[in-house]
Amino acid sequence: MSYAESQHILYLTGLLPQRAFYLFGSLIARSFLPLLHRATFKWLSLPHTFTPISTIKFSLEEVEDAINSADFGGAAITIPHEVSAMALCKRVSHHARLIGAINTLVPCPAPGPGDTNSIIGENTDWVAIYTCLTRRINTGLHGPTCRTTALVLGAGGTSRAAIYALYQIGVSNILLWNRTREKAVTLAKEMRERLECADGSGTMVRVGVLMGLGKEDVRRGVAEMARTLGVSVGMPGALQMPSIIVSTIYESRTDMGDFWGIGQVPDVGLRVDVLELSVAGGVAVELAYQPRVTPLLRLVAEVNQRARAISTATSGSTTGIVAGLPLSREGTASAVKMEPDEWDNPARTPPLRSSTNHTPHPPLLSSSPCGALTGTLAAPWAAVEGIEVLLEQAYEQTRLWTGRKAPKRFVRESVMKEFEDKFGKWETTVEGCTRAHETFFS
């Protein structure tokens, strides 16, 4: 008897009841989350359903029929309801409480007949960002250390998860930018209070707010944060320029039903020169996945093209980016981790996430080859697409809802086939967008 047949027998005998899962949010007609979870249920031979429900204002009246039904299995929450949805929860997880936002509802079985399920709030966005960052960061070269600085774009619910994920990997210096600066200031103050000594380690999290995203704005932001530590930029032990950028700015568009048009992520004014401030390169995480290539990912493609050009001009080959930088085992001078991991081998299971902070790596010495190249484009940046983040947070939702591991390879192949049919393959899309970007700014 096959696994699928045994599951079907359990379903027919009532030992595997059908559950109804939902997606609550606005502008969800083009979301890939239903496709992703339906593919997961199909592979696991589960009889569950997944239904998107558009909600303008997240209130009990809009969703009470769904969450109070006997077959309610759980729900995903998307923008802009990650914070307001907490009001529906009887309790939230430790991580969600520190973040101050949720993206997953998990029902807790009613204690007795006639009682309604209680709802537990969880956040899987931070797990996804954490996983994507640790997959890409070359910890042997640049961190995270007590000098590492990260930049977060946006100040919504997912920005909270991004700050928390950075905190969890050991980054304690975070710059925040938002179009409405007052909102960024409020969020920065709140997250500092939430995360200060949250794990009992005495780790202090510094969250500063930028006035703008120009090169000098970023330099000034790092310098102001460094002054709170009693050091100056350029001194041994001074803070580094941002080597991690997380964009939580989604596309600005109107919902168009079943029409698969591509929205536009607004250009917030970030340019290549800001990425080039980090002499060891870095990692850029994009949370938006429609369109596939956003302004941030175009910048990563552009800075990598320039890095290859410098590599060719200085060494006559493309095996290194700039002579004198430490090389990864593949021969690339980079803050980007090149080793294969569970993304390349989905059968491998990542370790459970710890609720405590990671011990920072020792800081780079000022005599490091990286320090000698300050102001020089030294290494490439790794790009994390928004679809990767979506997949990772959904894998964690599957575990919370069903107690089972998501079939990562099957789900990824199913989703990426549909995704590439709609938005094109990465190589083709990024090259075309980069050429258009260069033409626009020339």
Quick one: pLDDT band at residue 61, thresholds 50, 70, 90?
A: confident
In eight-state DSSP terms, residue 371 is G
CB 285 within 8 A of CB 132: yes
Average pLDDT over residues 360-365: 32
Taking the alpha carbons of 378, 379, 385, 386 in that order, is the dihedral positive or negative?
A: negative
Does position 319 have pLDDT exceeding 80, yes or no?
A: no
Encoded tokens for 289: 């996945």
Structure tokens at 243: 């080597």
Residue 367 has pLDDT above 50, yes or no: no
pLDDT in tens, 370-398: 333 334 444 689 999 999 999 999 999 99
Q: How far is CA 44 from the centre of its chain?
A: 26
Q: pLDDT confidence of 116, banded at 50, 70, 90? A: low
Q: Please indicate whether residue 233 or residue 43 has the higher confidence score (pLDDT).
A: 43
Is it the case that residue 115 has pLDDT exceeding 80? no
pLDDT at 258: 36
Residue 97 CA: distances (Å) to CA of 121, 194, 400? 9, 9, 17
Q: Please, which pLDDT band fits residue 129 given cuts at 50, 70 and 90?
A: very high
* pLDDT surpasses 50 at 214: yes
What is the reported pLDDT for 32? 93
Instruction: Dump pLDDT digits (tens) for 408-423.
Output: 999 999 999 999 988 8
The residues near 116 (Cβ < 8 Å, ≥ 6 apart) are 68, 110
Q: What is the mean pLDDT of residues 210-224?
A: 94
> What is residue 12's predicted lDDT score, i.e. its pLDDT?
72
pLDDT number for residue 58:
65
Whether 428 has a pLDDT exceeding 80, the answer reads: no
pLDDT more than 90, % of the chain: 46
Asked whether the predicted pLDDT for residue 113 surpasses 90, the reply is no
Name the pLDDT band for 188 (thresholds 50, 70, 90): very high
- Which CATH code, of 3.30.420.40, 3.40.50.300, 3.40.50.10860, 3.30.465.10, is assigned to 17-123? 3.40.50.10860
* pLDDT value of position 111: 65
Q: In the chain, which residues fall in CATH 3.40.50.10860?
A: 17-123
Contact 21, 48 (CB under 8 A): yes
Which of 335, 332, 282, 324 is CA-nearest to residue 140? 335
> Which CATH code for domain 126-392+426-441?
3.40.50.720
Residue 349 has pLDDT above 70, yes or no: no
Whole-number pLDDT of residue 355: 41
pLDDT tens sequence across 139-184? 555 568 888 999 999 999 999 999 999 999 999 999 999 999 999 9
Are 385 and 289 within 8 A, CB to CB? yes
- pLDDT given at position 318: 42
**Looking at per-residue confidence, does 366 or 146 come out higher?**
146
> Rg (Cα) of the chain, in Å, rounded?
22
Residue 129 CB burial class (10 angstroms; 0-12, 13-18, ≥19): buried
Predicted structure pTM score? 0.81
Helices (H) and strands (E) in the chain, counts: 14, 12
- Residue 281 tokens, joined: 């390169």
Q: Tell me the C-alpha distance between 47 and 277, whole Å.
A: 51
More confident: 361 or 402: 402
Report the pLDDT averaged over residues 430-437.
45
Q: What is the pLDDT of residues 15-60, one digit of tens each?
A: 778 999 999 988 788 899 999 999 999 999 999 999 999 887 666 6
Residue length of the chain: 442
Confidence band of 352 (pLDDT split at 50, 70, 90)? very low
* Closest C-alpha to 290, from 30, 57, 19, 20: 30
Query: Which tokens in the block code for residue 301?
Result: 């493609």
Pick the closest to residue 296 from 362, 249, 233 (CA basis): 249
Residues of the chain with CATH 3.40.50.720: 126-392+426-441
Task: State the average pLDDT for the chain.
Answer: 77
Residues 6+ apart with CB under 8 A from 428: none
